[in-house]
Structure 1
Amino acid sequence: RQITSTPSDFTSVAGTVEIGQIAADQAEKLLKAKHGAVKGKILQVLGDPGDPYTLDIQKGFEEKMKAFPDVTIISVPAMQWAADAAGTIVNDQMLANPDIDLIFSHAAHLSVAAVASLEAAGKKPGDVMM
């Protein structure tokens, strides 16, 4: 992550926009395999919205997914990258949008909480892709 609180002479950051683009490529493949076309509903569980890391991932993902007008993306931030927040987000969004096809989490620890929420909702492997 970029250090913004202390001046520095050099910063090296992972290709975060590219991470989002690669995730979009995978989402495209998964949705096409499920529906025969790239369509459906994606829940994007972001990290903290004040973190440039998550904003760049979101940018790369959403820019690439714009090519697919039949895909709806719901984006909700997990404040402070909190796993419990991610679990609550998935729980709430599955109630409001039971037709979610895929969940894209910006970090692995957020996915663990997402899976727990899906299991608690009675979802079986394959019902919602990640």
Structure 2
Amino acid sequence: MRSLISPFISKLALFKHNLGRREFYQFPSVAALRENGEVHDDGIQVYCDHLVVLKKGVQERFQDILKMKILNWVIDLFSNSNEIEMELKEELIDLQTNEELKPKFKDGYHSFWLQKQISDLYPGLWRM
């Protein structure tokens, strides 16, 4: 979820920046209206203000998700696991060497961790 929200927030900032500089790459309809004289500087400022409000609203609404720290081994199961707690290293080794589950990780870490058997076989890792 965080991997969807963070880029969206960054794009809102980019859109506001570009719109404020009268660069309408992301807004072809506004560019057409501007060329026809239907949108003036004060109208563009209103759009910029709306983008600022939208960005703040998204940041506030999803602040808990944005503050989450996703450990590297959650995203890349086969990476260096130095950041994992000692009690969970054995479970992680068992998971990393499970030949039946390795191909399923290629479908993406979201779907991998949502499998029922992961929570059953590796409850400590699942709770992380």
Shorter-chain TM-score category?
under 0.3
Instruction: Give the TM-score normalised by structure 1.
Output: 0.27
- Higher share in strand: 1
What is the TM-score when the length of structure 2 is the normalising length?
0.27
Which structure features the higher share of helix residues?
A: 2
Indicate the structure whose relative CO is greater, using CA pairs within 8 Å and at least 6 residues apart. 1
Larger radius of gyration: 2
